[in-house]
Structure 1
Amino acid sequence: MEKKNNSSKGIKAFLKSRKARHGSLAVVLVIAAVALVVVLNIVVGLLVERFPNLKMDLTSNSAYALSDDAEDFMSHLDKDVNMYILSPENDFVGNGEYFVQAKNLLEKMEAASNGKFTVSYIDTTSNPSFTNKYKNIDWSSKDTMAVMECGDRYQGVKTDDCFTYDEQYLSAGYYQVNGTTIEQATVTAAMKVTTENQVVVDFITGNQESDYTALKSLISNNAYDVREVSLLTDDLDEDAQFAIIYAPKVDLDAKAVEKLEKWLDNDGKYGRNLIYIPTPENTDTPNAEALIEEWGMKLTDGFVYETSEDHLLSSSDMFVFITDYNEYYTDGLKNKDIPVMVYQTRGIEITDENTSHALLNASDRAGIFPTDADDSFKPEDGITGKKIAVAAESVKSNSDAESRLIIYGSDRMFSSDFMTMNSLNNADFFMSVLNTVSDKSDESVTITGKKLDNTELGVTDVNTTGAMSIIFIGVIPIAILITGIIVWLRRRHM
């Protein structure tokens, strides 16, 4: 009994001692700090889940940040659009880091839409009948990743549209994802299901055209109904508003020209537009050029070169240069200060100023390099002192409608490299022409893919850098210092 009393007295004495009081305070502070971190983590997690835009993107290439075009499109949605991912959410993100990235971007698109765009994950294994109502989607390919729906309109979204693959692995038969294009694929599908009547664009085939995949994708991604027609066997679609001849290596035959003339005239009703884009590989196209001359324009025999330093990107290549806008089709551009660049372009001479005019010009220090020029030709020999058109149009009209023949001097300006450069307006200007002529108010949407190949934080934004500096250099050290001073003062007076 005496031992028990002694033990009890010893515990009470320890608890009253200075050492116990200091130790208790330390334990309480540690518990409070841990509890604060846990609570803060829970609160931040809930806030980020509720407001995805609170997530901070510290990657140098903004891999998790929503592009301006995607954010702008979503913020202006005026119809309810649903996107159904045909996979459970855990399975979707379990496919790898690019699917996690895609999920984050989709969440930010939802937030930007103010409730108009909703993403849902559907387990088709437990709900196999879900796809039955989407009868116009080819389910046999197994490549449909999602369904975009607006009212009665719907569109399948393929996995290949949402991600890019490493070509090395593709050649061996493996699919190794190396980038995401989920933003462009989502916006494209949403545009298509929200656009009531899509404008039809026919690409004319059968003349050994150059690869027009990039231009076709651009037009299709902006909710146009893109088709292909061979004038060797068929006629242009009656409901087509545009036809495009893209860099033919073989001249049009007389029958094809006749079909084009008849289609453009439309029995005097007009309302149709032909876009002709020559290729540098073939300047011997007399039938096509005869059609152009009937519309008050003429292609130059040689290529345009530039000597004005403020138009040249490199003094070593005078055939690559930026152009000047004329007064047409610039209202649809997001930024008129960004130029259009051309490479190996033909010039366009305006022979009838009553019906024709330039759209893009080289400077008055540009010249024409003749196709038959020899080594004695000097750049100053071809300079005329007048601006040279590298894109132009001719308009025929009646009191109700117009038909147009639009010429771009080179197919090089519509290569994938040129059209995806943010420092160039090549894609936007082309879409501005289409949107203006077809009375579509939509701006063009060109969103480049995102990769996760950067391991550094790469914070370059001034506001983000400043905020991080304040937190890590100011707030955290000061908080630690104040906590230390408080503990020291309490211990000193105990």
Structure 2
Amino acid sequence: MSKKELDKNKDLTNSKAPDELVTIEEKTEKEEKPASGFRKKLKYGSMFYIAIALVVAIVVVMNIMVTVIGKRSPIKIDLTPDDRYELSAESVDAVKNIEKDVDITVTAKRDYFDALSSYWRGQTGYEVPFELIPELLDKYSVYAKQGKGSINVKYVDMDVDPDIINKYKKYYNGDIERGSIIVATGERVRVISSTDVMNMIAPDQYLAQTTGEYKFKFSGESTITSAINNVCDAHPVRTAFAATMNGASMFDAQSYGSAAQTFENELLAKNGYDCTDIDIASDELKPEDYDMAVIFAPSVDFSEDVIKKLSDFLYNGGKYDRNVIYVPDVSKTNLPNIEAFLADWNIKVENEIMGDAQNNVGIESNILLKVSDTEAVGKLPNDKLPIVSPYTRALTELSKNNGNIVKSIISSYDEAYTVSITDKNAEVGEEGARTAAMLSQKQTSEDFNVYTSSVLVLGSPYMLESSVILKNTTYNNANVIISALNQLTGKKSGAVILEKSLQYSAISPSTKQAKVIQIIVVWVIPFIIAAIGVMVLLRRRNK
């Protein structure tokens, strides 16, 4: 290009307006802006999807963790003041210590318990929470996983799956009905009947009569835990409970029926003692059939044949290793054959009732007692609790040179005195500690092994009343007696599980309400939170 043309172009360039001048850098910057906007959208879009992926991953991981933890320990929180949906410490320890696999079969679908609640609500007008039975069965299954064994719970329809029920009938002679609970391991089977299941929740009649309050008691936990312990016990104590003699009641049913029932069914049967009612006169009492016999408050004397039957049972052909529990009637004074039998074991039941003006509950004859031989009783859950016993006969050791080992295992305090059975106003003894439960043992040895038979005498049937046995957080009667029996028979330690008193101030939604709450908490609330999060992210992305 000539010099003239160059000067012309230069003049044209200089003549342009300032806003028409574009530098190379500005042009480059303008060209780069579209690419920069794309990268910004890519950046925020990627962050959005990464955030969504992280949230989903966290939810999945948390669900997996909750599922795993839920199989090992309960994650439901019981907000009720009576802890109705939680197992007691005694039940938790029991299921953690089982070493077998236990099958619990409910012969009805799970909603059967909802139907029971609805039915009784219509009958009584009160909320009867039968749904806590399957809730507690779930807890048994969870806690058992923390030990060496397992508890597997299933619900079956007897009409649809009859074969599942039939496999238990060859090990169980009774009827299995709809609504029963079968507890089994191997050939050992316990069946909680449908009637017993319904009776797990019952009105507290004593509370209604004394205070006018209408509340329910729940005994399901003690019943189920007992059944589990029984089927897992390889060596249950076979117990002959002398209920009759020559067809007549052994004891005064009006006075002692409640105590006898509590002793046999609540204390013994629920702690691994297989109880069978026998007629002490007509039925056999063979050592090969039974490990222990209970003679409860006989109202008439025994014949010499019955006394020989008891003695032969304890002697066991020279092998010993058998036990008899004797509880006297507090008012009978003329039973010479029974007295002679006890005298052979160095024990005398005095015709005197203990009283204590300083250590009593309500009246002087309802005295407080204490453990006097800790070795014979064994370790207790709470050794600070008192033992209470109304109308207790004093027991005395007879001095005989026969080698028997005699122990006072429960006694009164030093301030106790005694009165005559026939004249309650006549004091016949000075103040001092008296024996309320006495143990006598005969022993033999063979090849360095010692074999022992024992007679344990409890001073009063009333120390076995349900009003004190079932209040095992107030009184120590239940735990002391069952622990002493376990020491005699060689059983593992056990504890009585208290009935629960259900309080109706508790947070207790109905089954339908609980399902609605579950849907809201598990699905609706998380969905709303996630939707709000997505909306916020979308707005930020589009800015």
Unaligned runs of 5+ in 1: 1-34, 169-175, 459-494
Corresponding residue of 1:233: 282
1:249 is the counterpart of 2:249: no
Deviation track 1:86-124 (CA, whole Å, cap 9, x = no partner) reads: 222233334325321112212222221126112112233
Cα 1:451–1:384 shift into 2, 3 Å: closer
SS of the equivalent of 2:350 reads strand
Task: Measure the CA separation in 1 of the matches of 2:424 and 2:481.
Answer: 35
Corresponding residue of 1:398: 444
Unaligned runs of 5+ in 2: 1-54, 118-127, 206-213, 509-543
1:313 is the counterpart of 2:351: no
Report if aligned partners of 2:366, 2:388 keep a CA contact under 8 Å in 1: no
% of aligned pairs identical? Answer: 23
Corresponding residue of 1:483: none
Alignment of 1:322-341 (within 5 A): 322-341=369-388
Deviation track 1:425-450 (CA, whole Å, cap 9, x = no partner) reads: 21212211221122112x22322333
Deviation track 1:257-306 (CA, whole Å, cap 9, x = no partner) reads: 12212222223221111111011232322221121112112111110111
Task: Measure the CA separation in 2 of the matches of 1:74 and 1:273.
Answer: 29
C-alpha displacement of 1:179: 4.2
Aligned length: 407
**TM-score normalised by the chain length of structure 2:** 0.68
Aligned AA for 2:141?
A: E
Corresponding residue of 1:158: 193
SS of the equivalent of 1:98 reads coil
RMSD: 3.1
SS of the equivalent of 2:333 reads coil
Task: Measure the CA separation in 1 of the matches of 2:308 and 2:395.
Answer: 23
The farther-off stretch of 262-271 and 447-456 is 447-456
Corresponding residue of 1:66: 87
Corresponding residue of 2:152: 118
Corresponding residue of 2:435: 389
Report if aligned partners of 1:365, 1:383 keep a CA contact under 8 Å in 2: no
Deviation track 1:144-181 (CA, whole Å, cap 9, x = no partner) reads: 6122121343322223333244599xxxxxxx994432
Task: Measure the CA separation in 2 of the matches of 1:141 and 1:154.
Answer: 11
Report if aligned partners of 1:146, 1:157 keep a CA contact under 8 Å in 2: yes
C-alpha displacement of 1:183: 1.4
Cα 1:143–1:230 shift into 2, 3 Å: farther
**TM-score normalised by the chain length of structure 1:** 0.75
Alignment of 1:303-452 (within 5 A): 303-307=353-357, 309=358, 311-314=359-362, 316-352=363-399, 355=404, 356-373=406-423, 375=425, 377=426, 382-385=429-432, 387-399=433-445, 400-421=450-471, 422-441=473-492, 443-452=493-502
Task: Measure the CA separation in 1 of the matches of 2:431 and 2:218.
Answer: 48
Task: Measure the CA separation in 1 of the matches of 2:156 and 2:178.
Answer: 15
SS of the equivalent of 1:301 reads strand
SS of the equivalent of 1:53 reads coil
Task: Measure the CA separation in 2 of the matches of 1:50 and 1:268.
Answer: 52
Corresponding residue of 2:36: none
Corresponding residue of 2:263: 215
Of structures 1 and 2, the larger Rg is shown by 2
C-alpha displacement of 1:382: 2.9
Task: Measure the CA separation in 1 of the matches of 2:296 and 2:285.
Answer: 15
Deviation track 1:45-102 (CA, whole Å, cap 9, x = no partner) reads: 9769667733232322222221121111011121111211122223333432532111
Corresponding residue of 1:171: none
SS of the equivalent of 1:102 reads helix
C-alpha displacement of 1:185: 2.0
Task: Measure the CA separation in 2 of the matches of 1:177 and 1:364.
Answer: 40
Report if aligned partners of 2:240, 2:276 keep a CA contact under 8 Å in 1: yes
Aligned AA for 2:361?
A: L
Report if aligned partners of 1:82, 1:117 keep a CA contact under 8 Å in 2: yes
Task: Measure the CA separation in 2 of the matches of 1:119 and 1:374.
Answer: 56
Task: Measure the CA separation in 2 of the matches of 1:322 and 1:143.
Answer: 46
